[in-house]
């Protein structure tokens, strides 16, 4: 059970300083607007935090009424349905802070991004993630046993950045039965320019021993971590929630504590060279 408040709190309070710039070719006013600086929760999603940005920049752009806002980092459109922390770790972990993003209101990259009609879309995406994770963890028994208002509290906790509210419910999702572990581990492994990997992975071995983070990446991404030597060379970094947990960390503990609010462990493989 997730009971390490110190770690949970620290993760929850994770913030990224972001500098939002309006794309130069979309500026319709006389002068280029000042960038907008915000502290954004790592655990959240961009549509939840973009209100201020949108309001700020709207007046500087012309015919953008009704156009959907999207973000871009160094030519890379950012997927709104990834937690912000994942996007940062994946694309920008070596960048200088604040993280500089370009705000677009035009030319929505239809092939690369999904449309986000509103916060409801984020909520349904979030809840489906949580359900999927619980299916992996407990065959969905916990989430299905919850009431509608519990689901709502989970979402409101995330949306309004309320740790206690969120964890009051999320605790139950992090409980494990007599086996001392989840059925399967809900995780996604990202690499830049590759589709993300998701697989069934049991947090313990057949013999009942806890499996470690090292075991996971070696199994799921053998092309990257195929040999001990390469592992040690440090060419690839394994980043979760902005930190690099040691390879000997048990995955069960990671899942309980380092999962994003959607209950998935988002693991980013970052090439450090």
Partner 1 sequence: MPATYLWSVDSAGKVYTLSTGGRQWEEVKGDIELKRVSATEQCAWGIGCDHQVYLYVHSSEVPIRCQESTYENQRWNPMMGFSGQHLLPTDRWHWSNQQGTQLQLKDSCTLPSPHWSWEDDWYIDENIRGEPTDKGGWQYAVDFPAQYGPKKRWNSCVRRRKWIRYRRYHATDNWALVNGQIPGVFEDPLKEPFIDVAAGGAELTDQPPGRVSVWTVTIMGRIFYRTEVHAMNPEGCSWQEVDNEGRECTQISLGPSCLLWAVTWDGEVMVRVGITRDNPIGTSWQVVTPPREDVHFLQVSVGVKGVWAVSRGDKVWFRKGVDATRGAEDQSSLVGTAWVEMVGAMALISVGPNDQVWSLDANDRYMVYFRKGVTPSELSGKTWKALEINKGGAASMDSSVSSSMSDIYSQTNMLSSQMDRLQVAVDSFPDIQPQASGPNLASDSLTDNHSPEKGGEVGSKFEDKQDSKETSSVSKAEKEECSRESETKEEEDNTERKASQESYNSDISDTVADFTGDYVPQKQGAESNNKAAQTQRTPGNMPTGKPENTHATLETSSENRSNVICGSQDSGISKGNATSSTESVNARASDGKRNPVLEKLQQEDESQSESSGSRRGSATSFSGMDMYADLYQPDPAWVWVSGGGCVIDTFTQPNWFTAAPSHTNGRGNSMLGPLDSMAIWGQVQINDAPWRKKVLLQLHERTTKELQPFQDYEQAIERTSWIKKGSLQYWSDTKPHRWVDCRLHLEQSSGKGLHDCKFTCYYKYYDSEKYLQFPLSEIVCVLRVNHGGNQRPVLAIYTAKRTAKKVPVRLACSTEKELEDWLTAISLACCELQGCQGAPSGRAVWSTTCRGDIFVYEPTPDMEITPANQMFWRQMGGHLNMVECGGGGVVWGVGFDGTAWVYAGGYGGGMFKGIASSPGGIHTQTDVKHIYIYENQRWNPMTGFSDRGFPTDRYMWSDITGRQECTKEGTKTPTTEWHWVGDWTIDYKPPGGADKKGWQYATDFPATYHGYKGWNDYVRRRRWMRKAKIVTTGPWLEAPPQHLKDIAVQVDQPESSTDPIALWAIGVNGDVLCRMGVIQDFPQGVSWLHVPTDQPMTSVSVGGNSRVWVTAQDGSAFFRNGITKNEPQGTCWFHIPSPHNRPLVQVSVGESSVWAVDKLHWLWFRAQITSTFPEGTHWDYLSPNVKKVSVGPQDQVWILAEDSPEKGTWIPMADKVMDKVKEKVWVLQGYVPPGSRGVVGHRLGVKIPEIPIGKTWDTQGIGGGWIHLSVRACTKQDPPTGVCTDDAAATIKGVHEEEEANSSVYNSQPVC
Q: Which residues bind partner 1 (CB under 8 A)?
A: 1-8, 10-11, 13-17, 37-41, 44, 48-49, 52, 97-98, 159-165, 167, 171, 180, 206-210, 212, 242-246, 248-250, 253
Q: Closest separation between CB of residue 190 and partner 1, Å?
A: 18
Instruction: Report in angstroms how near the CB of residue 56 gets to partner 1 at its nearest.
Output: 10
Instruction: Give 3 or 74: the residue with its C-beta nearer to partner 1.
Output: 3
Smaller CB separation from partner 1, 52 or 59: 52
> Between 24 and 45, whose beta carbon lies closer to partner 1?
45
Nearer to partner 1, 134 or 215 (CB): 215
Rounded-to-integer distance, Cα 191 and Cα 253, Å: 23
- Three-class DSSP category at 103: strand
- Least spacing, CB of residue 180 vs partner 1, in Å: 7
DSSP 177: -
Distance of closest approach, residue 222 Cβ to partner 1, in angstroms = 22
**CB 195, min distance to partner 1, A:** 27
DSSP β-ladder status, 194-197 and 76-77: unpaired
Q: Which two three-digit tokens encode residue 197? A: 């990997």
CA distance 26 to 59: 11
Inter-residue contact 72 to 114 (CB < 8 Å):
no
Of 20 and 225, CB closest to partner 1: 20
Q: Which residue has the tokens 């960038």?
A: 35
In 199-256, the DSSP E strands lie at: 236-239
Nearer to partner 1 among residue 19 and residue 198 (C-beta): 19
Q: What are the two backbone dihedrals, phi and then psi, of residue 98, each rounded to the nearest 5 degrees?
A: -70, 160
As a whole number of angstroms, the distance between CA 227 and CA 231 comes to 6
> Which structure tokens are listed for 55?
């309001």
Q: What stretches of the chain adopt beta strand conformation (E)?
A: 15-22, 36-41, 70-73, 76-77, 99-104, 187-191, 194-197, 236-239, 265-271
User: How crowded is residue 77: how many other Cβ atoms within 10 Å of its Cβ?
Assistant: 17
Q: Rank residues 169 and 220 by Cβ distance to partner 1 and give the closer one.
A: 169
The distance of closest approach from Cβ of residue 208 to partner 1 in the complex, given in angstroms and rounded to an integer, is 4
Query: CB of 223: closest distance to partner 1 in angstroms?
Result: 25
Residue 1, class by beta-carbon neighbours within 10 Å (0-12 exposed, 13-18 middle, 19+ buried)?
exposed
């Amino acid at each position: 059970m997730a009971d390490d408040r110190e770690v949970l709190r620290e993760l929850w309070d994770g913030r990224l300083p972001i500098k939002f710039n309006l794309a130069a070719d979309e500026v319709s006013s006389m002068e280029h607007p000042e960038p907008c600086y915000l502290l954004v929760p790592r655990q959240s999603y961009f549509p939840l935090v973009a209100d201020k940005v949108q309001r700020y920049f709207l007046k500087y752009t012309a015919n953008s009424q009704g156009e959907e806002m999207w973000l871009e980092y160094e030519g890379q459109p950012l997927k709104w349905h990834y937690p912000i922390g994942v996007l940062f770790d994946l694309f920008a972990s070596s960048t200088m802070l604040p993280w500089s993003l370009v705000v677009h209101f035009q030319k929505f990259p239809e092939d690369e991004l999904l449309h986000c009609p509103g916060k409801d879309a984020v909520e349904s995406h979030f809840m489906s993630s949580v359900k999927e994770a619980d299916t992996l963890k407990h065959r969905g028994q916990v989430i299905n046993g919850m009431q509608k208002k519990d689901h709502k509290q989970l979402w409101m906790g995330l949306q309004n950045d309320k740790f206690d509210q969120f964890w009051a419910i999320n605790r139950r999702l992090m409980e494990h039965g007599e086996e001392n572990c989840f059925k399967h581990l809900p995780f996604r492994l990202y690499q830049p320019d590759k589709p993300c990997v998701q697989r069934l992975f049991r947090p313990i071995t057949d013999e009942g021993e806890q499996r470690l983070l090292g075991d996971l990446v070696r199994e799921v991404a053998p092309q990257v971590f195929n040999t001990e030597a390469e592992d040690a060379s440090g060419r690839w970094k394994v980043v979760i929630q902005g930190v690099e947990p040691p390879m000997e960390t048990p995955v069960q503990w990671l899942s309980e504590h380092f999962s994003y609010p959607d209950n998935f462990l988002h693991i980013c493989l970052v090439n450090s060279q």
